[in-house]
Structure 1
Amino acid sequence: MSAFRLDADQVAYARRVSDIAVEHLLPLTGTAEGRVNRPLLRAMGEHGLLRGLFGGAPDEPARDAAALQLCLLRESLAQVSGEAETALALQGLGSYPILQSGSAELVQRWIPQVIAGDAVAAFALSEPGAGSDAAALELRADPEGDGWALTGEKIWISNAPEADVYTVFARTTPDARARGVTAFAVPGDAPGLSGEHLDMLSPHPIGRLVFDGVRVDRAAVLGDVDAGFAVAMRTLDLFRPSVGAFAIGMAQAALDATLQHVRERTVYGAPLAQQQSVAHRLADLVTELEASRLLVYAAASAYDAGDDRDAQPRRSAMAKLYATEAAQRIIDGCVQLHGARALQHGHLLEHLYRDVRSLRIYEGASEIQRTIIARDLIGKVSSR
């Protein structure tokens, strides 16, 4: 694939998202730290941003997601507000499996509410003993009548325990690893489902869920029984490049603030930007940022084009790995160029420094992305 360039419509879309975020979303942020910000979600729904998760215009029905549009949406929001970006992304991650693999009845029940910002969605995969090794999950789905009873625990689940609907991955066949997992759509008010909030480094709605015989029937199944792992992986293949886009947006915000700072900050009688070491550091940071952006856009556009689907997990892994690792370095470098003021509570760089750290862990830690890339590379060499 050749070097990537956005067309005029895509540039205009990104600008429109940014304008909406500044005017309508930013005033609603910072009021619900560590909890779901429902007014913010409703505002996103009112302005059509949540429909953008699924590639549709405001007056179109929800359809399969467009990966590049999702990346532009997340990057544009992240440059304005990490809270708004995270709220939007969690809606998509939690609801996309329903749109992708749910029955017509499930789609009609939940997706319009998610798009309107009236229902909060969550993706419940991780467990205390099954984070990076998702195939090791132990939440049991025991046969009961014409359905199952879910028993066990999920942890580090974004939007828990406040979500209205959870995409839950549970073990329907013991000792079968990835081949014995089924995905279910579980209402947040289901009898037997409880949970608690968790306090994290960055204020973020995240929690623990406890399933005490939560009853689900066959209508709640997403995809096929024992094929839930494929539902999870298809969702992550789509969303991993957009995690990279989130990282790019945060890194761009940090770099923009730093460029302004080094032009205005005087050291030894001249702007800090005139120091060669500073100028060269900025050159390195912006090069990493542009490389990240190209890798993310290329992975997303390949997903949309349907190019070599077998290679998509590797492309998605490369995009997430490079962009999130680079964003950590870029934001750290921007903090260094700001000095102590960037560490003061409430400073933009202080927020970004805390917020960027989790991106290298969730939706597959960097080490897992390297494993996916290496497995694909080595497998192709071995098959020649």
Structure 2
Amino acid sequence: MTAFSLNPEQTAWCAELRTLADERLRPLAEKGEPGRVNRPLVEALGELGLLDHLFAGEGPGASPATRAPHAVSGALGLCLLRESLAYSCTEAETALALQGLGAHPVAAYGSARQREQWLTPARAGRAVAAFALSEPGAGSDAAALALRAAPDGASSWRLTGEKCWISNAPEADFYTVFARTTPGAGARGVTAFLVPADRAGLTGTPLDMLSPHPIGALAFDGVTVTGDDVLGEPDRGFRVAMTTLNRFRPSVGAFAVGMAGAALDATLAHTAQRDAFGGKLKDLQAVAHQVAEMATRTEAARLMVHAAAAAYDRGEPDIARRAAMAKLMATETAQYVVDAAVQLHGARALQRGHLLEHLYREVRAPRIYEGASEVQRTIIAKELYADAAVPARSATPQPTTPEETSA
């Protein structure tokens, strides 16, 4: 199997997932309230075995009908899952992804007790998880976290500060929280904690955002955490965060590709049927070329996402660069494709409830969360220069003309 084509088993699984999303998940999504956790939808994802694919191995609760074939396990399987769900039901895809983001640190770094108490119900859809990294002054700059974990005895801390733009907050049942345990140490002084939502001193407020899924702020007023709440090791929480983000960044791209695919197919159908200027819209060269560009960019993004996921599964050393490239390419492409689809549909696409109106609101946020596009470019450039190992004395000479300076 290569990263550049899907075999019949994989293709059939994707088709099955789209049908499942249409028939079982979309009706539940339509009953949900925007900006609120849709617990029946999360529970359905667990009952259908789909949440099992977020974590290593396949849980015993996965049904035979939806259990992924061996050939589509791992990061590639996760990408195919997210793309397929996003194509048919973005709400189901988002609920699944947020559950994975919040609970993956528990699966990867949690103790046996933590996994039993929180990962088991999270995989079943009975406990809602959240990933609490961003702060008012530390969004993409994760090393600048200010949430303070002050020592409180030999093996406990008190958390004081804020988290902001946290998906599933304030309705999650537990949070993976990143806090500063060593002041002035940058990324080296951050610790990851598993904090139950009912812990004394923890409160939350919902935020009214463009995206329809729940996002909120959290306030920590001396919240007590102990060594039993640590995920991984003290002062090594940045590694927990980056491992999780590297795991999910290619699949954020898959989410974007799924939305782009849905917008593209809607545009193909519309332009083939719509009468305009004495013919069909598709007969206008400007329209046909636009659709061709949309399709080409979508396919390029899909291939880049698959390649990054395959590299992750093989354990290749350049996964940070590949994941950043995949997220950057796919999210920027999806924004372009959905915007072009709206333009080709005209005013009808702006009506509340239209597929493209929905996608237009959904597609904007992925260019910001889990590392904004600018952060992805920074990661890519840093990795490229590290690989090249260019000595300082071989730097490009300073430009001597205005034209060279502007270039």
- Name the TM tier (shorter chain): over 0.9
Write the distance in 1 (CA, Å) between the matches of 2:390 and 2:104: 34
Deviations 1:223-248 (A, max 9, x none): 11100000000000010000000000
- Give the aligned partner of residue 4 of structure 2: 4
- Give the aligned partner of residue 229 of structure 2: 220
Structure-2-length-normalised TM-score: 0.91
Q: Is the 8 A contact 2:56 2:74 kept in 1?
A: yes
Write the distance in 1 (CA, Å) between the matches of 2:227 and 2:167: 25
1:281 maps to amino acid: Q
Q: Is the 8 A contact 2:170 2:218 kept in 1?
A: yes
Determine whether 1:93 maps to 2:89: no
Q: Is the 8 A contact 2:287 2:344 kept in 1?
A: yes
- Give the aligned partner of residue 84 of structure 1: 92
Write the distance in 2 (CA, Å) between the matches of 1:83 and 1:57: 23
Counterpart secondary structure, 1:79:
helix
Deviation of residue 263 (structure 1)?
Answer: 0.8
- Give the aligned partner of residue 292 of structure 1: 301
Deviation of residue 59 (structure 1)?
Answer: 2.2
Write the distance in 1 (CA, Å) between the matches of 2:381 and 2:2: 23
- Give the aligned partner of residue 13 of structure 1: 13
Structure-1-length-normalised TM-score: 0.96
Q: Identity of counterpart residues, as a percentage?
A: 62
Q: Is the 8 A contact 1:124 1:157 kept in 2?
A: yes
Deviation of residue 55 (structure 1)?
Answer: 4.8
Equivalent pairs counted in the alignment come to 379
Write the distance in 1 (CA, Å) between the matches of 2:195 and 2:367: 28
Counterpart secondary structure, 1:127:
coil
Q: Is the 8 A contact 1:93 1:123 kept in 2?
A: yes
Deviations 1:72-116 (A, max 9, x none): 111000001111110100000000001101111111111110111
Deviations 1:52-71 (A, max 9, x none): 1125445279xxx8211110
Q: Is the 8 A contact 1:122 1:166 kept in 2?
A: yes
- Give the aligned partner of residue 127 of structure 2: 119
Q: Is the 8 A contact 1:182 1:224 kept in 2?
A: yes
* Residue number among 380, 387, 396 corresponding to 1:373 in the alignment: 380
Q: Is the 8 A contact 1:160 1:208 kept in 2?
A: yes
Runs (5+) with no aligned partner, structure 2? 63-72, 392-407
- Give the aligned partner of residue 158 of structure 2: 149
Write the distance in 1 (CA, Å) between the matches of 2:260 and 2:184: 42
- Give the aligned partner of residue 22 of structure 1: 22
Moved more, 149-158 or 7-16: 7-16
Deviations 1:299-341 (A, max 9, x none): 0011011122xx1110000000000001100111111110111
Deviation of residue 3 (structure 1)?
Answer: 5.7
Deviations 1:223-279 (A, max 9, x none): 111000000000000100000000000010111111110011001221111111111
Determine whether 1:324 maps to 2:325: no
Write the distance in 2 (CA, Å) between the matches of 1:161 and 1:355: 20
- Give the aligned partner of residue 219 of structure 2: 210
Write the distance in 1 (CA, Å) between the matches of 2:83 and 2:182: 39
Q: Is the 8 A contact 1:55 1:69 kept in 2?
A: no
Deviation of residue 202 (structure 1)?
Answer: 2.1
Q: Is the 8 A contact 1:20 1:47 kept in 2?
A: no
Write the distance in 1 (CA, Å) between the matches of 2:95 and 2:145: 26
- Give the aligned partner of residue 36 of structure 2: 35
Write the distance in 2 (CA, Å) between the matches of 1:58 and 1:132: 33
Aligned ranges 1:187-202 → 2 under 5 Å:
187-202=196-211
Write the distance in 1 (CA, Å) between the matches of 2:23 and 2:91: 15
- Give the aligned partner of residue 68 of structure 2: none
RMSD value, Cα? 1.5
Runs of 4+ off more than 4 Å: none
2:106 maps to amino acid: I
Deviations 1:102-133 (A, max 9, x none): 11111111111011110000000000000011
